[in-house]
Amino acid sequence: MRKWFVLAVLAAVALPAVAAQPATQPVPPAAKAAAPAAAANPFFAEWTTPFGVPPFGEIRVEHYLPAIKEGIARERAEVAAIAKNPEAPTFANTVAALDGVGEFLDRVDAVFYGQLSAESSPQLQAVAKEAAPLLTALGDDINLDPVLFARVKAVWEKREALGLTGEQKKLVDDAYQDFVRGGANLDAAGQARLRAINKELSLEGLKFGDNVLRETNAYRLVIDKPADLAGLPPGVVNAAAAAAKAAKLDGKWVFTLQAPSIWPFLQYADNRELRRQILTAYTTRCDHGDASDNKAVLAKLVALREEKAKLLGFATWANFVLDRNMAKTPDKVYGLLDQLWTPALAVAGREAADLQAAIAADGQEFKLEPWDWRYYSEKVKKARYDFDEEALRPYFRLENVRDGAFYVANKLYGITFTERHDIPKYHPEVRTFEVKDADGSFLGVFMTDYHPRPGKRGGAWSGRYRGQWFKDGKDIRPIVVNVCNFSRPAGDAPALLSLEEAETLFHEFGHGLHSLLSRVHYHGAARVPRDFVELPSQIMENWVLEPEVLKVYAKHWKTGEVIPAELVAKVERARKFNQGFATVEYLAASYLDMDWHTVTDATPRDATAFENAAMAKIHEPAEIVVRYRSPYFSHIFGPGGGYSAGYYSYIWAEVLVADAFQAFAERGIFDQATARSFRANILERPGTGDAMEAYVRFRGHEPSVQPLLVKRGLAPEPATAGRE
């Protein structure tokens, strides 16, 4: 089964697959009568656009709900035909047939939820609220159909004797587990309660996400005194002036809670009180006891999830989620976090002492607070390494960094990216590229959307407007999009990225490559464990500062000069600086996620008290705010809750990455044999077997946590041969 539509709103990678190219779908008898009346709706017509890309310019808000309802009707008819098939159940007429249903609905959902994330509006949010219970009911009706489950179970029970390929066997196992985890084995009362829970979960998740977007967009710090801009780099000031002009506040400067605005402000602004104001606004989003307060919403989500887990036979929601991840159990997740937490906390303590000393050296007597950390870290780094991150920006022009990512993909896999201006876009800032393999064959369409807008949710993600699979022997290629919130052009300068933004671009591009290079025969085979999915993305970050790559893309936007080697050397010397802070901030959020989802009863909790207790338990330093406080922790509480009991997966994947990149480092960063193995075992066949087995095929062994500890400066470098 592949009903991922709600999860896709949040998940970093998996927007649902949509219709094959060409986009015309067979219309089942039940739907034929509705088609003529909807002739003006683009979802009911063949898409004659290049590569079958959605005709975004023709799609209006009022088209979505009729198309969703029609898609639901069509999918019900397709599923009913499978259930009523008089022939004995086989892999082809049951499991493969189920994998193929719903192409029309998937096509609609992909566009709708893609736009809900990147171009949201109150009108789209209203459609989402009306559609959510309908889609949830469809999923429940399929999972709880006893005749359908009996057919799938019959195939599953004889799977070993069917001569299936590895991919087909995995599809059968997953289909059977989808039904079981969807409640197929529950009695009538249990199934009724599960339906009610699923409906509530979908609506509460949407409410949570809407509140976060509203609160994020509502705040702005308006500065009208030039003195209050002291310390801020010119590019940051120019961007704030542009934001003010867009808000019809000419002559002033506006800072927001969007990443390109708030983080540079906290890093450079001399005005401590303003730093306190903007960070407080950020960390108290949806926590004001008003209509946008999310504490009751998230408490309800946690209680519903716990009840659902118990109903399905799991001790906690985390046990339910992790059963399908590489980690398998909460104990293994906590075990990994604990291995990292103790050394990270020790390093963060030393960093805090250094910052307190810098405050004293500044002639100040106040105690280090969260709004001081980034500011004084920048001062200490500059003094210790003679390095200012702003010195990198002139060399990190957005388009050049993107081309650097393209260069890496070409050197590793031989693929090429050619910009096309005839492919439909959903916003003028979107750029579209035709992607070809080394042999010239078409791989897919790649779209980029890099700047913040009021309707775009925060963060960065990779999604799909069409997935990859085989239909009637034809390889249907994907339509992939990277969506980010990077610094805009300011003043006379183009968009210039920070190092972190450059790494984020490469990261999301890695997700994009995972989608573009996929070569599976069934939709369901593209699904991978949450704690594996970050491996293809995080490993790409390793190429950002490789000298061979830098000389291709890191060129001064005015002079064309390649970034000086001495500046890169400063970056490398400072790479482990402040890693105690970064690791503690992240791990605290991972602990918080796990604590919320290992509760063992469905009693709604006081969100503030629970969070405070969770942070006290791990001795979270007062100077470091958890990366995501509960009321705006959209990764785990937003639509779909894609990372619930799964936020740890970034660090889990980083353990894999630290080990995996050693293969490239040892043999050459563009070694073709290593690249072919990574493509074949990790990228092309993401869901055809056990994820750890796939990793071991690539690397030759399972990873350990030690390389990550060393990489982050949380453990000493290993002694080299010959060293005394």
Phi-psi bin for 220: left (phi > 0), alpha (psi -120 to 50), beta? beta
Q: Please name which of 623, 201, 74, 209 lies closest in space to residue 375, comparing C-alpha atoms.
A: 623
* Helix (H/G/I), strand (E/B), else coil: 412: helix
Q: Is 369 a catalytic residue?
A: no
AA letter at 688: T
Residue 697 · residue 681 · CB < 8 Å: yes
Report the C-alpha gap between 148 and 164 in whole angstroms: 21
Q: What is the 3-state secondary structure (H, E, C) of 579-616?
A: HHHHHHHHHHHHHHHHHHCCCCCCCCCCHHHHHHHHHH
Q: What are the Cα distances from residue 317, in Å, to 45, 405, 605, 634, 639?
A: 42, 38, 15, 17, 16
What does the buried/exposed string (b/e) look like for 34-44 if buried means 16 or more CB atoms within 10 Å of the residue's CB?
A: eeeebeebbbb
For residue 705, report the phi and psi dihedrals to the nearest 5 degrees: -80, -15
> Which of 434, 503, 508, 541 is labelled catalytic?
508
Q: What are the Cα distances from residue 57, in Å, to 66, 371, 423, 428, 604?
A: 18, 43, 11, 11, 44
Q: What are the Cα distances from residue 53, in Å, to 67, 320, 415, 448, 466?
A: 17, 36, 20, 14, 8
* Beta partners for residue 471, in sequence order: 474
Tokens read off for 686: 């993401």
Cis peptide before 122 (omega within 30 of 0): no
Report the C-alpha gap between 415 and 141 in whole angstroms: 42
Q: Which residues are tagged catalytic?
A: 508
